[in-house]
Amino acid sequence: MRRSRLALSLTLAIAAASTLVAADVVQDESIRSVSLPVLRDPQAQQKLHLMTDPVQDWVESGDPAAAGYTGTVIDASNQHADIYWKGEAPAKVRELLDAHASSGYTVDVHPSAYSRAQMRAAIDKFTAAVEREAWTSIGPQEDGAAIAITYSPAKASRLTGGDTAAQAYSRRAAEIAGMPVTATVEGTPMALSGSRHSDGAPYYAGAEVSTSKAEFCSTAFSGWKDNKKVLLTAAHCGGGRYYNGTAGYIGDLYATGAGLDVGMIAINGNGGGRFYDGPWSDNSGSSRRTYGVGRNNVGDLICLSGAQSGWKCDVEIKRVDVETTNNEGTKIKPVDVAESKGGDRRAIAAKGDSGGPALANPSGANGDMEARGVIVAGRTEVSCPAGSTAHSTTCYSQVLYVPMTPVVQQMGFSIS
């Protein structure tokens, strides 16, 4: 039977207990299903990735000549990208950019103080020396000027000797890491499992699932592992058997990714290679096709589809290659961090969206999109707009998701 988007009749009171610190609860306007931001060229983000991805592919090949790479920032609105490099960038960088150039698009290469590898080494040094509670997330800055750390003041006093101001934290963290640090107060990422609807084969991304542990989670992309048909979700949603919103059996947990908080369900049927693109209350089953996986860069615009809060766009990637631990104690590395474009603290996810898909790059009239990641956590609590979620729950203005690259490379996943 084709998907039903009828809301469950039961009323769920989802616990809103939170370890967030200094997370202002702000009022938000009602959110309807939205389209991607209007760009001068709808293909701007794709064209910029076609120019910069070959450089990152070369970096990831392990060629020692690429060791100075630091980061990439995408600015689709201005049809421009910036690449940062420690030392003089090899001639191959410009050769790759020129070989994939598009008229009207520019990519500048800038010098940086530190390379990606140097920042990763400093991060490892810091995390090995400091107790886990003293920081909530840590990752490189794309411009190579420093590493970026978020922390909870209530748990950072032992690191700073009692002075938990950002300046004091940055100074002490830099002494430990051996590298400049920018520090920001942010709470602990919250696992977004909670208590969409009935979904059956072929399974789509963004549908509701439940387990004996989580009453409400979401699904991500369908594909293959070891010649088995699988469906991605967040591993913290639980193991064992998975069911849809009307208690229909979907399949059993087949595999999890070490340190990724991503799980694979061996599905009882085929994957559809599509994702839901409407609000949680949309009874039409509106969907679009996925057409592959893509790399994430700071500045990219993405969309999210959670069974609890529905379809959200105008979301911008703020940080990539971050590591963190959620409120359940699950260590996750790497994660990318996104929030509403413009930083206005709009709700973009809710408890129940864990396991849902992050997508980007519309192509063609039907708006097909590529897979970018699996939602695993939210941060910075905000009020949920009236009617914006399937049930009473907690909403967040920041989303953390595991990018597809490690899901493919480490877990052996191939998208359908």
* pLDDT tens digits for range 211-237: 888 788 999 999 999 989 999 999 999
Predicted pLDDT of residue 193: 55
Average pLDDT over residues 376-391: 91
Beta-bridge mates of residue 164: none
Between these two residues, 154 and 93, which has the higher pLDDT value?
93
Are 221 and 415 contacting, i.e. CB atoms less than 8 angstroms apart?
A: yes
Torsion of CA 337, 229, 222, 253, to 10 degrees: -50
Average pLDDT over residues 146-154: 93
| pLDDT higher than 50, residue 296 | yes
Of 31-45, 134-148, 291-305, the least confident: 31-45
End-to-end CA distance of the chain: 21
Predicted pLDDT of residue 390: 86
Of 26-30, 70-74, 251-255, 397-401, the least confident: 26-30
Tokens 């990219």 found at = 300
CA angle 207, 210, 211 (to 5 degrees): 145
Predicted pLDDT of residue 366: 67
Predicted pLDDT of residue 56: 96
**Helix (H), strand (E) at residue 70:** strand 69-75
